[in-house]
Structure 1
Amino acid sequence: MELPIYYLFVLAIPVACIAWTVTKEEIFKEARLFCVDRSKNCQRLIKRKFFYVFTCEYCFSHYVTILILLITRYTLIYPDWRGYIISFFSIVWIANIYMSLYNIIRIDLKKEKIRVAKEESELHADEEK
């Protein structure tokens, strides 16, 4: 049974969510800081690269995608191993577009908060005069 193409966009959502949360959000901060340290200070290259994966949302999204594909068995275009390869790279690409858009939105929200805080402080300063 071949699944519709829009499943690609749906499956990329949990990939993006998991990859972003693990590599960027506060809840995993301590683990991420440990991984950053190990990615810089381990003696062996393979260990440094292993820990680096948990600090990079792009890198981590590849491993999350593998897990999602194992769970869903989603393929694109071909129903065999070729379909898994195409769906793998497609999901990673879409998930990273989602994360980039999310990052842009977050930056805009932070800029707006800073602008509002500045305006409020200016208003309070004018009121005090």
Structure 2
Amino acid sequence: MELYEQIIRLFVLAIPIACVAWTVTHEEIFREPREYCKNQSQAGKTILQRKFFYVFTCEYCFSFYVTILFVIVTNYQLLFTDWRGYIIAVFSLVWIANIYMSLFFNIRIGIKKEGLEAKVKEKELDEISKS
């Protein structure tokens, strides 16, 4: 596979990886299991137990496991066609996926900020119109 094809696949494969990692570690649909994992990561009896459950609360950590699954399923390699290609692919995909998640987070913060500012202005207008 040509290098440009590998790069295109890198940026495309990172999208579902970011989507899965973000959804599991942040969205409401997984809130209850995530809260359970958070509690176990803080109150677990052994360090292994605490670290195992922490993985499901951290998008960066969880993205490694999602990436490994995607690399196995897609047989994606980057730069090399042996085991080195898999290692480079995993770290590259995690890096790109985490950039995507950071961008998504910043966009969501911006949208929430605009929504809050609109509510404040609406309240101010209501108070002015009542006077």
The alignment's TM-score, normalised by the length of structure 2, stands at 0.96
Cross-structure match for 1:53: 55
- Measured after TM superposition, the shift of residue 31 of structure 1 is 0.5
Q: What residue ranges of structure 1 are gaps of 5+ in the alignment?
A: none
- Measured after TM superposition, the shift of residue 18 of structure 1 is 0.2
| Equivalent-residue separation in structure 2 for 1:14 and 1:67 (angstroms) | 11
Give deviations 1:61-108, integer Å, cap 9, x for gaps. Answer: 000000000000000110000000001000000000000000000000
- Aligned partner (choices 61, 65, 69) of residue 67 of structure 2: 65
- Say how many residue pairs are matched: 129
Cross-structure match for 2:76: 74
Could you tell me the percent identity over the aligned residues?
59
- Aligned partner (choices 100, 103, 107) of residue 105 of structure 1: 107
| Equivalent-residue separation in structure 2 for 1:94 and 1:10 (angstroms) | 10
Within the alignment, does 1:117 sit opposite 2:119 as a pair? yes
**Contact 1:65 1:88 (C-alpha < 8 Å) held by counterparts:** yes
Secondary structure of the 2:76 match is coil
The alignment's TM-score, normalised by the length of structure 1, stands at 0.98
Give deviations 1:12-65, integer Å, cap 9, x for gaps. Answer: 001000000000000000000000000000111001000000000000000000
